[in-house]
């Protein structure tokens, strides 16, 4: 009476099923996907290396552009004669540069005047009733023209937004008091960089080219 049917206790004490006894299968990433991911990683690494190399080359070219082909004898006095720009006696911080190019050369001249004197000076240089315009479409920072004022330790006037006026002049039929002395076409900029003080920037294409005197004989 007290006995149990054989096998009764073992069946009631076990809760495992056939499904529990099956081994767990792990999903495998397809071989094609592995190859594709590897190729993408290689391409990304290659692009990164090429981009770094391109940035390095671009930086080197910019440095070469900034330092190449400038003539040592191009003093402010010599440049003012070449351009036909009479620098006022009260001007200070005179700077000049002359860069030799493949197609044409470029001359740079810059000086500082009290703002009232600068207004009078530019007014005697441009035609009567002509107004110098503001820089409504400034170039981005890092802008590098063929001959940069950065060589003279100055910002590029085309990138300046506030307190900048600019115009272009050519000697043909220019009858203004100072314009009659002008020898070449110029880009003229006037920047009041501090209240009451204005820097004049002048850039000119020199064609045909001229040869500055040796540095030890420059005026």
Chain mean position to CA 155 = 10
pLDDT at 175 over 50: yes
Q: Quick one: which of 14, 205, 200, 18 has its CA closest to 122?
A: 200
- Contact assessment for residue 94 and residue 110, using Cβ atoms and an 8 Å cutoff: yes
Q: What is the pLDDT of residue 24?
A: 52
Burial 14-46 (b: 16+ CB within 10 A, else e): eeeeeeeeeeeeeeeeeeeeeeeeeeeeeeeee
Check whether the bond before 208 is cis (ω within 30° of 0): yes
Lowest mean pLDDT among 2-6, 111-115, 209-213: 2-6
Q: How far is CA 134 from CA 48, 73, 130, 156, 166, in A?
A: 41, 33, 13, 15, 6
First to last CA, the chain: 134
* Structure token pair of residue 207: 């064609």
* pLDDT score of 25: 55
Res 113: pLDDT? 98
Give CA–CA dist 17/27, Å, rounded: 23
Q: pLDDT at position 40, please?
A: 75
Task: Lay out the sheet containing 133-134: strands in order across.
Answer: 92-99, 105-114, 197-206, 186-194, 164-169, 133-134
Calculate the alpha carbon distances from 47 to 29, 34, 50, 67, 124 in Å. 26, 20, 5, 30, 56
**CB–CB of 205/169 below 8 Å?**
no
Q: What's the pLDDT tens digit per position in 111-163?
A: 999 999 999 999 999 998 889 999 999 999 889 888 999 999 999 999 999 99
* pLDDT band per the 50, 70, 90 thresholds, residue 10: very low
Average pLDDT over residues 88-98: 97
Mean pLDDT for all residues in the chain: 82
**pLDDT: which is higher, 23 or 33:** 33
């Amino acid at each position: 009476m007290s006995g149990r049917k054989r096998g009764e206790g073992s069946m009631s004490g076990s809760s495992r099923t056939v499904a529990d006894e099956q081994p767990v299968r792990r999903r495998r990433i397809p071989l094609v996907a592995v190859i594709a991911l590897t190729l993408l990683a290689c391409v990304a690494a290659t692009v990164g290396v090429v981009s770094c190399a391109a940035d390095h080359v671009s930086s080197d070219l910019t440095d070469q552009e900034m330092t190449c082909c400038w003539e040592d004898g191009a003093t402010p006095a010599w440049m003012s004669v070449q351009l036909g720009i009479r620098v006022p006696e009260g001007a200070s911080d005179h700077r000049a540069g002359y860069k030799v190019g493949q197609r044409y050369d470029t001359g740079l001249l810059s000086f500082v005047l009290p703002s009232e004197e600068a207004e009078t000076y530019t007014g005697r240089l441009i035609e009567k009733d002509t107004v110098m315009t503001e820089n409504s479409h400034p170039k981005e920072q890092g802008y590098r023209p063929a001959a940069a004022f950065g060589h003279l330790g100055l910002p590029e006037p085309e990138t300046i937004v506030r307190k900048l006026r600019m115009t272009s002049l050519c000697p043909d039929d220019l009858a203004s008091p100072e314009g009659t002395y002008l020898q070449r076409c110029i880009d003229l900029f006037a920047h009041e960089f501090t209240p009451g003080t204005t820097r004049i920037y002048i850039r000119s294409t020199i064609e045909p080219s001229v040869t500055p005197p040796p540095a030890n004989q420059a005026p």
